[in-house]
Homo-oligomer: A and B are copies of this chain.
Amino acid sequence: MLNFESDYLEGAHEKILARLVETNQEKLSGYGRDKYSASAIDKIRQATLCPEAEIYFISGGTLTNALVIASLLKKYEGVIAPETGHITTHETGAIEFSGHKVLSLPQTNGKISAEQIREYLEQFWTDDNREFMVFPGMVYLSHPTEYGTLYSQEELKMISAVCQQYKIPLFLDGARLGYGLVSPESDLSLPQIAEYCDVFYIGGTKVGALLGEAIVFTKKNTPDYFIAHMKQQGALLAKGRLLGLQFDTLFTNQLYFQISQHAIDMAMRLKQGLLAKNYRFYLDSPTNQQFVILENKQMEELKRQVAFSFWEKYDEQHTVIRFATSWATKQTEIDELLALL
């Protein structure tokens, strides 16, 4: 059966597996002190054009978000996020578990704007009773967003400026960052992301790794004793090599970008094919997640032959579904899917 349910259906890129096998017998120090982690850090510093970047590898996205947010915020602070942000909706209160409120703002196409953020901050700081409210201590964005959309360079730059003005860090969740960077509609490079954001993470789990995300602190702003924070939140793997080696591989010879490009090529092939067949999209996504509005009956039929994600009810007769491509999607799979639709 065809399967477009998510971008983490397969294991890892074959080069990653090959290197795991190749280095398996080496005795290496634990907790990220191994040479492959060091090498991965070097390569990410180069790829971000940010030589002073401080980089840590974590097993998954929720833990990464919880860790970055809890370690950077003061106890009375919360994090501004779009109402559709992953931390706002789909992490079972992981942020609140660590004591912090997610301050949600209305979204448009999964995004929030510099203007919205500025207004929120301005209103907060001019309110005489602000000590009765949660202090906005950080801004969280996803890029690509949960709807596959992208911030433009201008948008991110302006959000960054607001954050700087109010002296709060800008944190970008890049669980699918590769798919955003190589999108035809992206005008944002990895170095620019490093420039505008105070901290972000480069997603591995959804982009070719078995597991792993790389947190990048870009302004010498890693919280004191971050390793202690990691250990306290259960985020410090004994065999850190497993994460280091994967990122080392992904950032060798542009592999991360190449495999991301493949996913986008597949998504665009699907999108063009659907447009040609007059399918309606819920919104215009330039990345590897495509949101299509199907009649309920057609959806039910399709289910028998294709796995996809239910996204949300559109109206009584229609449903929004999601097709996700990935680094591992085959062109024949796209063609078979299109043939069915």
Partner of A238, one of B74, B211, B227: B211
- How many residues does chain A have at the interface if contact means C-beta atoms less than 8 Å apart? 77
Partner of A26, one of B10, B28, B62: B10
Tell me how far the C-beta of A7 lies from the nearest C-beta in chain B, rounded to whole angstroms: 9
Interface residues of A, dominant DSSP: loop
Q: Could you say how many copies of this chain the assembly holds?
A: 4
Indicate with 1 or 0, residue by residue over A5-36, a CB within 8 angstroms of chain B CB atoms: 11011111010010011011111111000000
Partner of A239, one of B29, B132, B210: B210
Q: Does A228 sit at the interface, judged by CB under 8 A?
A: yes
| Cα–Cα, bound, A231→B62 (Å) | 7
Tell me how far the C-beta of A126 lies from the nearest C-beta in chain B, rounded to whole angstroms: 10
Q: Which A166-216 residues have a C-beta within 8 angstroms of B?
A: 205-206, 210-211
Binding site for B on A (CB under 8 A): 3, 5-6, 8-12, 14, 17, 20-21, 23-30, 59-64, 66-67, 70-71, 74-76, 78, 89-94, 96-102, 128-135, 205-206, 210-211, 224-225, 227-229, 231-239, 241-242, 310, 328
Knowing A235-B63, A242-B211, the reply to whether A225 touches B96 (Cβ < 8 A) is no
Quick check: B24 and A9 within 8 Å, CB to CB? Answer: no
With A10-B27, A62-B236, A78-B93 already in contact, 15 other A-B pairs whose C-beta atoms are closer than 8 Å: A9-B27, A11-B239, A17-B17, A59-B211, A60-B234, A60-B237, A60-B238, A70-B75, A74-B224, A74-B225, A76-B225, A89-B133, A94-B231, A131-B228, A206-B238
Chain B residues with Cβ under 8 A from A224's Cβ?
A: 74
Quick check: A11 and B236 within 8 Å, CB to CB? Answer: no
Chain B residues with Cβ under 8 A from A60's Cβ?
A: 59, 234, 236-238
Quick check: B99 and A96 within 8 Å, CB to CB? Answer: yes
Quick check: A100 and B92 within 8 Å, CB to CB? Answer: no
